[in-house]
């Protein structure tokens, strides 16, 4: 598979978004190749999901490095080793620093379980319930130095129902995440995303997404 963009997936936990990306590749809805999966947690279920898949899986633990900078240098070196074009954060529970982000400028994506800019940070689903919104959703965005503040690529709304707990809402949003993230990655891989300041344009049509 020449010409395919190479993804480096960073995941700290369950890995259901990683799974949806692997499934989309297998179904040929996403024409990309996973070059490496990296976790900062040795016990992460995400690492287990790639066993037997012929995908390199690596654990890089923060505690093994003297500084955040050294840790991120190790991450960057691993991504470079596998010639990664796009860094895909899939439940990666760490904020990346400016040096890392400038090395991969415009090439780091994240998915967040709310309609940004509402409810950034941790426990987005609980934040949505506590606020009392009727609609939440998920957002795929490029990563900048802020918390869930980078340019928005795709968003989709999900209803918040009166009886929802954070867990029930999370499940409903997650089902949408699993469709939206592979779709956004495919747009990147097809060269269709263009940054214009804070806005992400679909290059083919030149229209605002
Ligand atoms: C997802 O809800 C995602 O939006 C957020 O972290 C969670 C990761 O879930 N960034 P998983 O590890 O992909 O199952």
Q: For 132-147, write each residue's pLDDT tens digit.
A: 999 999 999 999 999 9
Q: Is 138 helix (H, G, I), strand (E, B) or coil?
A: strand
> What's the mean pLDDT when you consider all of the chain?
96
Task: CATH number for 1-105: choose from 3.40.50.300, 3.40.50.170, 3.90.650.10, 3.40.228.10.
Answer: 3.40.50.170
Asked if residue 12 has its Cβ within 6 Å of ligand 1, the reply is no
Q: Which helix (H) or strand (E) holds 195?
A: strand 193-196
Contacts of residue 37, Cβ cutoff 8 Å, sequence gap at least 6 = 8, 9, 10, 11, 18, 46, 47, 50, 55, 56, 57, 58
pLDDT over threshold 70, residue 185: yes
**pLDDT given for residue 202 in this prediction:** 85
- Whether residue 208 has pLDDT greater than 70: no
Nearest Cα residue to atom 5 of ligand 1: 91
156 forms bridges with which residues in the sheet?
138
Mean pLDDT of 58-62: 98
- What is the spatial distance between Cα 123 and Cα 148, in angstroms, rounded to a whole number? 13
Pocket test for ligand 1, best of 11, 15, 16, 178 (most atoms within 8 A of CB): 16
Q: Which atom of ligand 1 is nearest to the CA of 46?
A: 12
- Output the six-digit token pair for 107: 């090439």
Residue 1 has pLDDT above 70, yes or no: no
Q: Is the CB of 124 under 6 A from ligand 1?
A: no
Half-sphere exposure for 86 (CA within 13 Å, toward CB): 26
112 CB burial (10 A radius; 0-12, 13-18, 19+): buried
Among residues 120, 131, 113, 116, which one has the least CA distance to residue 172?
113
Distance CA 40, CA 108 (A): 17
pTM, 2 dp = 0.95
Catalytically active residues are 112
Q: Is a pLDDT exceeding 80 seen at residue 207?
A: no
Are domains 1-105 and 111-209 of this chain identical in fold? yes
Residue 108, pLDDT above cutoff 80: yes
Do 120 and 149 form a contact (C-beta atoms < 8 A)?
A: yes
The domain locations on the chain are 1-105, 111-209
Task: State whether the beta carbon of 35 lies less than 6 angstroms from ligand 1.
Answer: no
- CATH superfamily of domain region 111-209: Formyl transferase, N-terminal domain (3.40.50.170)
> Per the annotation, where are the binding residues?
15-17, 68, 93-96, 110
**Residue pair 10/143 in contact by the 8 Å Cβ criterion:** no
Asked if residue 56 has pLDDT above 90, the reply is yes
Instruction: Give the pLDDT mean for 105-118.
Output: 98
CA angle 114, 142, 116 (to 5 degrees): 20
Residue 209 has pLDDT above 60, yes or no: no
pLDDT at residue 197 tops 60: yes
């Amino acid at each position: 598979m020449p010409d395919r963009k190479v993804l480096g997936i960073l995941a700290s936990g369950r890995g259901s978004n990683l799974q949806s990306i692997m499934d989309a590749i297998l179904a040929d809805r996403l024409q990309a190749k996973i070059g490496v999966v990296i976790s900062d947690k040795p016990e992460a279920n995400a690492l287990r999901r790639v066993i037997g898949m012929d995908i390199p899986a690596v654990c890089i633990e923060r505690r093994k490095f003297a500084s955040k900078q050294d840790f991120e240098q190790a991450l960057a070196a691993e991504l470079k080793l596998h010639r990664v074009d796009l860094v895909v954060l899939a439940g990666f529970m760490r904020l990346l620093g400016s040096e890392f982000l400038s090395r991969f400028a415009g090439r780091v994506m994240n998915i967040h379980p709310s309609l940004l800019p509402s409810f950034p940070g941790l426990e987005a689903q609980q934040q949505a319930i506590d606020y009392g919104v009727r609609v939440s959703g998920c957002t795929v965005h490029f990563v900048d130095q802020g918390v869930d503040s980078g340019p928005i690529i795709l968003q989709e709304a999900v209803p918040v129902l009166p009886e929802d707990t954070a867990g029930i809402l999370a499940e409903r949003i997650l089902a949408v995440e699993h469709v939206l993230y592979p779709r956004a990655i495919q747009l990147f891989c097809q060269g269709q995303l263009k940054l214009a300041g804070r806005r992400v344009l679909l290059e083919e049509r030149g229209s605002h997404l």
